[in-house]
Amino acid sequence: MDSSELQQLIVETLAKDSVIPDTRKLSPLGVKGKATPVEDPNAVISALASLASREIVSYEQHDTFTYFLTAEGAQIARDGSHEALVWAAVPTKGSGQVITIKQLQDQLGQTAKIGQGKAFKNEWVGKEGDKLFKKVATIVDTTKEELTEVEKTGTLKGGEKAIAELRKRKLLEQKKSLWYSVKQGPAFTTDLRKPETDLTAEMIATGSWKNSNFKQYNFDADGTPTNGGALHPLMKVREEVKGIFFEMGFAEMPTDAFVESCFWNFDALYVPQQHPARETQDTFYVSSPAKALAPPRDYLERVASYHIRGSPDGTSRGYQAPFSLDESHRLLLRTHTTAVSARMLYALAQKGKKEGFKPAKLFSIDRVFRNEAVDATHLAEFHQVEGVVADRGLTLGDLIGFMQTFFAKMGLPNLRFKPAYNPYTEPSLEIFCWHPGLGKWVEIGNSGMFRPEMLEPMGFPPGVRVHGWGLGLERPTMIRYGITNIRSLVGHKVSIEGVEKSPAVRF
Ligand code: PHE
């Protein structure tokens, strides 16, 4: 009988009798009172569990002890108890026959030894000298009768005491068995066809849905895990770095304009118009539209004048070179996020003119573009991280202090600085950090105090200093994730699976 037949038997029996008080008495269709062939309790429980999950039945579990005979018990049930065998072997007094204890032992062996005592105690046999006689004409062999009953029914009506006695004599062994009582459930049916799991167009067209049995939704089931979005490793690192800036009290700059004018990308930063960075081999220029919107007129004039002649008080002599408005109005893909810092610093200075200067800490993390040969570690676009601080009386010590705090939070506590050149900062410092993995100092960024030639035309009051530092996002990310080729991090060769599985970073 397989599980579906057993399930069918259970519901048919319930349809007839409405309850099954004891699954051990479950009888095959129609024939009542006969023991079921289904004696495997596992088969019964799995059939019941399956029916109960569809609310066709409900059931309760019970347990009972049943008993079975040991080898010796089975022998007694067949041949009689040792004491009965002793009694049978002993002659009646006056029959002319005699048997001595020795002869009985020779005849019955072990049985004589075990049975004698009990036969005496029951007063079944008596002794004269060394001869044995029957004391009664008939006996009732209770042990044999009890064992026969256990063999047939698995238990004894005589009760626990008698059972305990037989177990002590090692004639019985106990076994715990499970059985179930079963009732009809709220969705009782004898129709066990598999319920439909889908409502199909065909069912609607033929109308067969009306008579179909539909499977209930299991609202407790775990769903299949959804394939949700995942942050790209670069974006994970960006989130971390943003967190560090926010912790240090910085506000984020708007970096959504990738196309900039030469004015904001270079001129406002006091990058001479003849600077090699402006060459087409380094910078992507945009041909359409041909011209950028002009910056505020007075500011453009001040910037041009600082480039050509320097400061009005003569502290700076400028570049002593021509300044072209056409050059200033060209459009390009920004080569650094410092173009955004320039716009923000100009706005800060202008606001300060009206409302009084207020210090500011600003940061940005976004994409920049350079016309570079693409190799394993360089792309023509990458992300820059930049921090800028404007306040009265800032010194180079403040800049170094900010960078030490910032990089320590990124897990890079060992920094070294090397004098460098930037057109817009003086002094300028290259930033090196100790790379424990590579066992050497690696360059990670660039920094400096912004020049008066850049800050004065913006309109900052005297005494206000601005410093800043910048670094790439890709290099720390590659180090964090152990990536050696930039193409595994950016572009069409990036493994989506890798992106989904890469852990969040913690600096
Ligand atoms: N703009 C610089 C670069 O591209 C970084 C920098 C930012 C330097 C701010 C000084 C001040 O490397």
Alpha carbon nearest to ligand 1 atom 8, residue:
447
Q: What DSSP string runs through 401-458?
A: HHHHHHHHHTT---EEEEEEEETTEEEEEEEEEEETTTTEEEEEEEEEEEPHHHHHHH
Using the structure block, give the residue that is written with the tokens 């065909």: 202
Cα-to-centroid distance, 464 and ligand 1 (Å): 19
- 71-167 classified as CATH 3.10.590: no
Q: What DSSP string runs through 346-397?
A: HHHHHHHHHH----EEEEEEEEEE-----BTTB-SEEEEEEEEEEEET--HH
pLDDT for residue 38: 57
Cα-to-centroid distance, 377 and ligand 1 (Å): 20
Alpha carbon nearest to ligand 1 atom 12, residue:
446
Q: Outline which parts of the chain fall under CATH 3.30.1370.240.
A: 1-69+168-223
Query: How many CA atoms, within 13 angstroms, populate the side-chain half-sphere of residue 386?
Result: 24
Ligand 1 site, residue 387, Cβ cutoff 6 A: no
Ligand 1 site, residue 328, Cβ cutoff 6 A: no
Cα-to-centroid distance, 424 and ligand 1 (Å): 9
Ligand 1 site, residue 134, Cβ cutoff 6 A: no
Residue from 335, 403, 422 whose mutation best tests the ligand 1 pocket (most atoms within 8 A of CB): 422
Please tell me the total number of residues recorded for the chain in this structure: 507
How is domain 1-69+168-223 classified at the CATH fold level? Ribosomal Protein S8; Chain: A, domain 1 (3.30.1370)
Ligand 1 site, residue 336, Cβ cutoff 6 A: yes
Beta strands 172-184 and 19-20 are antiparallel
pLDDT for residue 31: 44
Distance CA 152, CA 15 (A): 30
Q: Outline which parts of the chain fall under CATH 1.10.10.
A: 71-167
pLDDT tens-digit series, residues 129-154: 888 899 898 999 989 999 999 888 88
Residue from 265, 338, 394 whose mutation best tests the ligand 1 pocket (most atoms within 8 A of CB): 338
Cα-to-centroid distance, 350 and ligand 1 (Å): 23
Ligand 1 site, residue 338, Cβ cutoff 6 A: yes
Contacts 24+ apart (CB under 8 A), 312-315: 315/452
Ligand 1 site, residue 422, Cβ cutoff 6 A: yes
pLDDT for residue 322: 95
Q: Are 504 and 414 in contact (CB under 8 A)?
A: no
Q: Is the dihedral of CA 321, 323, 327, 328 positive or negative?
A: positive
Ligand 1 site, residue 470, Cβ cutoff 6 A: yes
pLDDT for residue 28: 66
**Between helices 101-108 and 110-121, what is the axis angle to 10°?**
130
Ligand 1 site, residue 364, Cβ cutoff 6 A: no
Q: Return the closest-CA partner of residue 21 out of 176, 209, 180.
A: 180
Ligand 1 site, residue 13, Cβ cutoff 6 A: no
How many whole angstroms from its chain centre is CA 450?
48
Single pTM value for the model: 0.60
Cα-to-centroid distance, 416 and ligand 1 (Å): 17
- Closest ligand 1 atom to the C-alpha of 387? 9
φ, ψ of residue 118 in degrees (nearest 5) = -65, -35
- 234-255+337-501 classified as CATH 3.30.930.10: yes
Alpha carbon nearest to ligand 1 atom 10, residue:
447
Cα-to-centroid distance, 335 and ligand 1 (Å): 10
Q: Are 150 and 67 in contact (CB under 8 A)?
A: yes
Cα-to-centroid distance, 448 and ligand 1 (Å): 8
Q: Give, as one character, the DSSP assignment of residue 217.
A: P
Ligand 1 site, residue 447, Cβ cutoff 6 A: yes
The SS3 of residue 466 is strand
**Residue ranges of the chain with per-residue pLDDT less than 50:** 30-35, 37
Cα-to-centroid distance, 432 and ligand 1 (Å): 14
Ligand 1 site, residue 23, Cβ cutoff 6 A: no
Q: Outline which parts of the chain fall under CATH 3.30.930.10.
A: 234-255+337-501
Peptide linkage before 28 cis (omega within 30 of 0): no
Q: How crowded is residue 324: how many other Cβ atoms within 10 Å of its Cβ?
A: 12
Distance CA 400, CA 414 (A): 12
Ligand 1 site, residue 468, Cβ cutoff 6 A: yes
Ligand 1 site, residue 240, Cβ cutoff 6 A: no
Ligand 1 site, residue 453, Cβ cutoff 6 A: no
Q: Is 14 exposed, middle or buried (0-12, 13-18, 19+ CB in 10 A)?
A: buried
Ligand 1 site, residue 337, Cβ cutoff 6 A: no
| Residues with Cβ within 8 Å of residue 103, at least 6 apart in sequence | none
pLDDT for residue 243: 96
